[in-house]
């Protein structure tokens, strides 16, 4: 059923405009870039806002003295000089992602290198802790990026992650403008499986967007970037942190109301809509107009889409989180929707379904699906050397106690 739209009263409209103005001002003051670059579809050239994450306005951020203690600070089994760093393959607010080859066995990894000073300056220790903790829990799911180990130097943090080189979903959308329904369904199903698994661990993701969805060399989805995840979210529990990426913010987040796991299903609906139509569902060049669209505008579906596709989009993008698809039985509702009836979920999980698109990469060194903006960038020498950890300032080293992680010695 289409979402009914009612003309707001003058008083309600005034409050909405005041809220949007306040929200826009706050975002301008506290926005933290998510690592996405300014990219465009043909319609978006030079007009897309920076896809970004916003901070929690309801919780006091930690001061530099409020350190995150995760246990012992050193991982004696790993250091930067263990790797040959070959290419820059991504960039974020706090550092870069590099293609690296471990010298001892020639294994390729994606190594995420973060600058401690930048993290401390922006008071982002909590997000780094959340990302590390969630990565440690994600080793058992086929559509979530895996953490092999992590270590630190006096200046930097290193995540050693699965390397996948099929490209960002956003990269392929940018090139192809939109996907046919079977292809969009396949990606949405694998993403939904990953989100459902996170929910089973009482984790909500909160930053689902095409930039955070990678494809592996066969064309399967790999969800990455867990910096905005919220742990400890039991069924029907809510949180109120204002965070996410503007185009994909759910109405309840914009209203600064308590929200639950269904915020991830809204984001899935927004990503599915973008895969089918080429733009997010309520997109506008003007930020305040886009927020007003998210809060009040009826979902518009144009073109010859199947009844099942229209129905699931209306269900996932329902403005009332209590009536949204997934509100009752979470992932079970999603997988049982008629839109996914062609999907055998057991085959999907075990990767027995052939992906609709093969990236056709020749090997780990094939970087055709990475943006040349990154791969042509020189690698800083500071990333590759191993300074003395004891030489670090006490504030920088103490703030990341226990960041390092090593599963077993034989892994090295």
Alpha-carbon gap, residue 54 to 248, rounded angstroms: 12
Sign of CA dihedral 224, 229, 234, 239: negative
Cα dihedral sign, 177-180-185-187: negative
Ligand-binding site membership of 15 (annotated)? no
Question: Of the listed 207, 260, 264, 330, which one is catalytic?
Answer: 207
Q: What is the DSSP string of 156-192?
A: EEEEEE----S-BHHHHHHHHSS--HHHHHHHHHHHH
Element (H, E) at 293: helix 287-296
3-state secondary structure 91-138: ECCCEEEEEEEECCCCCEEEEEEEEHHHHHHCCCHHHHHHHHHHHHHC
For 182-269, strand residue ranges (E) read 213-215, 221-223
By three-state DSSP, how is residue 18 classified? helix
Active-site residue flag, 330: no
In the chain the first and final C-alpha atoms are separated, in Å, by 55
Query: Hey, which residues are catalytic here?
Result: 207
Output the known binding site: 121
Annotated binding site for ATP: 121
């Amino acid at each position: 059923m289409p979402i009914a739209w009612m003309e707001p009263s003058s008083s309600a409209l005034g409050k909405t405009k005041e809220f949007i103005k306040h929200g826009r001002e706050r975002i301008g003051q506290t926005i933290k870039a998510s690592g996405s670059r300014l990219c465009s579809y043909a319609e978006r050239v030079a007009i897309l806002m920076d896809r970004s994450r916003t901070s929690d306005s309801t919780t006091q951020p930690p001061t530099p003295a409020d350190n995150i203690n995760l246990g012992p600070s050193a991982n004696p089994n790993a250091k930067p000089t263990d790797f040959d760093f070959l290419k820059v393959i991504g960039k974020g607010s706090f550092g870069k992602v590099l293609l690296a080859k471990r010298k001892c066995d020639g294994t390729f990894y994606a190594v995420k290198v973060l600058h401690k000073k930048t993290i401390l300056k922006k008071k982002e220790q909590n997000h780094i802790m959340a990302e590390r903790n969630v990565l440690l829990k994600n080793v058992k799911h086929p559509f979530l990026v895996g953490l092999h180990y992590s270590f630190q130097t006096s200046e930097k943090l290193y995540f050693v992650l699965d390397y996948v080189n099929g490209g960002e979903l956003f990269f392929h959308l940018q090139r192809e403008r939109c996907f046919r329904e079977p292809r969009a369904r396949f990606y949405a199903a694998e993403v939904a499986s990953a989100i459902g698994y996170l929910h089973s661990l009482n984790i909500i993701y909160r930053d689902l967007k095409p930039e955070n969805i990678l494809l592996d060399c066969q064309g399967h989805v790999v969800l990455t970037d867990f910096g905005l995840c919220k742990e400890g979210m039991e069924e029907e529990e809510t949180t109120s942190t204002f965070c996410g990426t503007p185009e994909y913010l759910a109405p309840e987040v914009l209203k600064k109301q308590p929200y639950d796991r269904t915020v991830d299903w809204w984001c899935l609906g927004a990503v599915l809509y973008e895969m089918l139509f080429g733009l997010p569902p309520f997109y506008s060049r003007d930020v305040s107009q886009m927020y007003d669209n998210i809060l009040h505008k009826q979902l518009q579906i144009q073109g010859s889409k199947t009844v099942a596709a229209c129905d699931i989009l209306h269900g996932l993008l329902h403005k009332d989180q209590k009536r949204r698809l997934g509100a009752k039985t979470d992932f079970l509702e999603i997988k049982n929707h008629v839109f996914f009836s062609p999907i055998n979920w057991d085959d999907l999980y075990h990767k027995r379904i052939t992906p609709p698109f093969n990236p056709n990469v020749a090997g780990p060194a094939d970087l055709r699906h990475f943006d040349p903006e990154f791969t042509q960038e020189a690698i800083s020498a500071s990333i590759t050397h191993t300074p003395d950890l004891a030489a670090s300032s006490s504030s920088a080293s103490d703030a990341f106690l226990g960041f390092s992680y090593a599963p077993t010695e034989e892994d090295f």
